[in-house]
Structure 1
Amino acid sequence: MSMNKLAILPVLGLLLSATPVLAENLVVASYGGKTPEHWRTYVFDAFTADTGITVEQVIVPGKIVAGMQAQQQTGKVQWDISTSLAASDFATLAAAGYLARVPDDVKQELSANYGLISDYGVASKTGALMIICNKKAVEKCPTTAAEMMDVENFPGTRFMPNFQPLEALTFAAYASGVAPDAIYPLDVDRAIAELNKIRPSIAQFYDNSTTARQLLSSGEVVMGLLWNGIPPQILGEGNVNVDLQVSWDGAVTYSQWTAVYNNGPNTETAWKFLKWLNTHPEAVAAYASAEGTDTANKAAFALQTEEIKEWSPVKDHGVPTLPVNTEWYMAAGDTKTKIDEFWKNYIN
């Protein structure tokens, strides 16, 4: 070997050792409102500090299913995970084959703290859609599901989320007179007919809590279905425009899901994140408390306040509440297609 070649080898070694290692990244698709800010403040920043893995949030309110469908169909999946999927969206994405199966080792590790783990995700909390009404804006407020659907005796503009069709139909079935334990399998035609009764009174469909609160404060809507974490926040603020009355009668309860997408760019990193959540209950509790909701992480739930637990759907509120049947929705076939088509037209 010549002297020139010997001189070049150390230089090559230095160049090779200086080649940058690409940092790990995680792309999270979120609905919007203050939730992404809360995830960033209480969870993602701590996760990045611990692991060096950066987290990018993509805010797509009400468009997660359509966005993932487009990505899967083009073969260019850009998102890795969603941390708070509504039950309807979770069922739709799983049925379409867009969610990755949870590996056995992840299931085993998370089972210590999470009670509900499906093949395609981890239930991160139990939420509820409950009846709310601004007493300052109406003569009388509905307190039952049937009254919420009675626009003649309880007039006023209404609202509900634009991405929870299964929850809306479950509420409507109960309002029409179906017993809580007989709602599933869902009589879809009956539930649709009930929802159609109030459609002219629905002024807005919202896709995040910030919008919902603005609609109430402005007087654009006076009653409707709202997530259980929001009323205690409104009640605690002393808003002069809103005197909120709430009812748990017929509240629709559901799991929100953390799920990883098939063919995502950073799937292994997403599983790392789930394992990290399992071992950091203080971060999970801080996030959930900022949202005003409980969490399905048992260690984190133990760290939450009694006020949070008081507003939890897990608590017995003395009236019938209605758990959605996600498994039925996933397997409903043509009936699910009928529901999805109805909802697409209903909210537009």
Structure 2
Amino acid sequence: MQNNLWRALLAGAFVLTADAALAETTLTVSSYGGGYQEAQAKAYFAPFAAAHPEITIRQDSPSSNAKLKAMVESGAVDWDIMVTDDSFGLDSDAEWLEPIDYSIVNRDKFIPGTAGTYRIASDIEATVLAYDANALPAAPQGYKDFFDLEKFPGMRAVWKYAPSGIFETALLADGVPADKLYPLDVERALKKLDTIKDHIVWWDTGAQSEQLLDSGEANMGLVWVSRAVSGADQGIKIDWTQWTSQSGYWVVPKGTKNREAAMKALEFFTEPAQQIAFTQYMPYGPSNKTAVAGVSETFKGNLPTDHLDNRVLMDADWWAKNGADVDMRFQEWLLE
């Protein structure tokens, strides 16, 4: 009887120890900060913590591809999950990332092209053609109009960043079909950009792009959809005829001690309820194809996923291989 009692006590101690270990699991998630991360906290992090009391989420910011790489290379990985952009999380980045565990994360639920070996999309974002409806004689319809100075005079606001979509935009305006863009004809794109070069106001931050449109310094612009939506009260509207697609992506650093918990969190974050909740706070579409039809009314009509048929997909792999050379040529062109 004493042996049975001892076994029972040992079993109970083991259960308590296991439960205590689970309760001590802390996932550190690094994101962009600001309103974006606040929206993630409301839609993803808080509900996950409520559903999984054994796991605590600690937030960090800002996310940084370079910092993640340094952590992995030094063997001191403090982050378990990070949000990144299109330029990272590709197969060429395998040395720094854990493969997504699709035995935990349901790969079939994602919009095609948003679930890769080392990353899954957190949301679908966009660079859009925004315009001041009070300053233009008519509403532009596509990139051809963006380059038409006669029909649409005035200044254009453009992101001073080679992989921003400006090369794709120029080629589309010049008649290149969307499915024939790559490899990009860089010189042809620059020749097209020459036609409006004197009418471009360059921006470096989202806040600058919004200010350029709100102030009237530019009456058209290629801007992030969140900034275009923010300017709606000032008469800023969006032409959804064509738009270049960017996305936020979840990645898991190689060497995390909480790999399984991280994968469980990613599965939870990308479920319909959480992704629909996110669209209450940010004008970015869900990556879960089931969630697309149920998005919040807050930004409905101005979400990228409301206009998927007009999406121009940028080739992140091509940019990863050629981006440095294209940027060098872009910088030369800016000085010409």
Name the TM tier (shorter chain): 0.7 to 0.9
**1:302-341 alignment runs, 5 A limit:** 302-305=293-296, 308-315=299-306, 321-330=311-320, 333=321, 335-341=322-328
Q: CA separation of 1:86/1:190 partners in 2, compared to 1, >3 Å: closer, same or farther?
A: farther
- Counterpart residue identity of residue 32, structure 2: Y
Instruction: Supply the distance in 1 between the matched residues of 2:38 and 2:307 (Cα, whole angstroms).
Output: 31
Q: CA separation of 1:104/1:300 partners in 2, compared to 1, >3 Å: closer, same or farther?
A: closer
Instruction: Supply the distance in 1 between the matched residues of 2:308 and 2:293 (Cα, whole angstroms).
Output: 20
**In structure 2, what is the equivalent of residue 273 of structure 1?**
265
**In structure 2, what is the equivalent of residue 7 of structure 1?**
none
Select the residue among 55, 59, 62 that pairs with 1:56: 59
**In structure 2, what is the equivalent of residue 226 of structure 1?**
223
Q: CA deviation at 1:166?
A: 5.6
**In structure 1, what is the equivalent of residue 283 of structure 2?**
292
Q: Secondary structure at the match of 1:246?
A: strand
- Counterpart residue identity of residue 80, structure 1: D
2:120 corresponds to 1:122? yes
Instruction: Supply the distance in 2 between the matched residues of 1:41 and 1:306 (Cα, whole angstroms).
Output: 17
Q: Secondary structure at the match of 1:90?
A: coil
Instruction: Supply the distance in 2 between the matched residues of 1:41 and 1:192 (Cα, whole angstroms).
Output: 43
CA deviations on 1:168-190 (whole Å, 9 max, x unpaired) are 32222212331223212222333
TM-score by length of 2: 0.74
Q: CA separation of 1:309/1:136 partners in 2, compared to 1, >3 Å: closer, same or farther?
A: closer
**In structure 2, what is the equivalent of residue 202 of structure 1?**
201
Q: CA separation of 1:203/1:253 partners in 2, compared to 1, >3 Å: closer, same or farther?
A: closer
Instruction: Supply the distance in 2 between the matched residues of 1:204 and 1:129 (Cα, whole angstroms).
Output: 13
Q: CA separation of 1:71/1:189 partners in 2, compared to 1, >3 Å: closer, same or farther?
A: farther
**1:100-119 alignment runs, 5 A limit:** 100-106=98-104, 109-116=105-112, 117-119=115-117
**In structure 2, what is the equivalent of residue 81 of structure 1?**
81
How well do the aligned residues superpose, as a CA RMSD in angstroms?
3.8
Instruction: Supply the distance in 2 between the matched residues of 1:43 and 1:345 (Cα, whole angstroms).
Output: 43
Q: CA deviation at 1:295?
A: 0.8
Q: CA separation of 1:341/1:322 partners in 2, compared to 1, >3 Å: closer, same or farther?
A: same
**In structure 1, what is the equivalent of residue 244 of structure 2?**
252
- Structure 1 unaligned segments of length 5 or more: list them: 1-12
**In structure 2, what is the equivalent of residue 154 of structure 1?**
153
8 Å contact 1:171–1:322 — kept in the other structure?
no
Instruction: Supply the distance in 2 between the matched residues of 1:219 and 1:189 (Cα, whole angstroms).
Output: 31
Q: Secondary structure at the match of 2:279?
A: helix
Q: CA deviation at 1:57?
A: 2.6
TM-score by length of 1: 0.72
- Counterpart residue identity of residue 60, structure 2: Q
**In structure 2, what is the equivalent of residue 186 of structure 1?**
184
Q: Secondary structure at the match of 1:46?
A: helix
- Counterpart residue identity of residue 173, structure 1: L
8 Å contact 1:158–1:202 — kept in the other structure?
yes
8 Å contact 1:138–1:156 — kept in the other structure?
no
Q: CA separation of 1:316/1:112 partners in 2, compared to 1, >3 Å: closer, same or farther?
A: closer
Q: CA deviation at 1:204?
A: 1.4
Q: CA separation of 1:270/1:198 partners in 2, compared to 1, >3 Å: closer, same or farther?
A: farther
Instruction: Supply the distance in 1 between the matched residues of 2:185 and 2:299 (Cα, whole angstroms).
Output: 34
8 Å contact 1:132–1:247 — kept in the other structure?
yes
Q: CA deviation at 1:272?
A: 2.1
Q: CA separation of 1:302/1:145 partners in 2, compared to 1, >3 Å: closer, same or farther?
A: closer
Q: Secondary structure at the match of 1:146?
A: helix
8 Å contact 1:36–1:57 — kept in the other structure?
no
Q: CA deviation at 1:36?
A: 0.7
- Structure 2 unaligned segments of length 5 or more: list them: 1-12
Select the residue among 92, 97, 109 that pairs with 1:95: 92
CA deviations on 1:29-74 (whole Å, 9 max, x unpaired) are 32344111101122212222332312213125xxx33444444555
8 Å contact 1:140–1:154 — kept in the other structure?
no
Q: Secondary structure at the match of 1:45?
A: helix
**In structure 1, what is the equivalent of residue 255 of structure 2?**
263
8 Å contact 1:229–1:293 — kept in the other structure?
yes
Q: CA deviation at 1:198?
A: 5.1
Instruction: Supply the distance in 1 between the matched residues of 2:33 and 2:167 (Cα, whole angstroms).
Output: 24
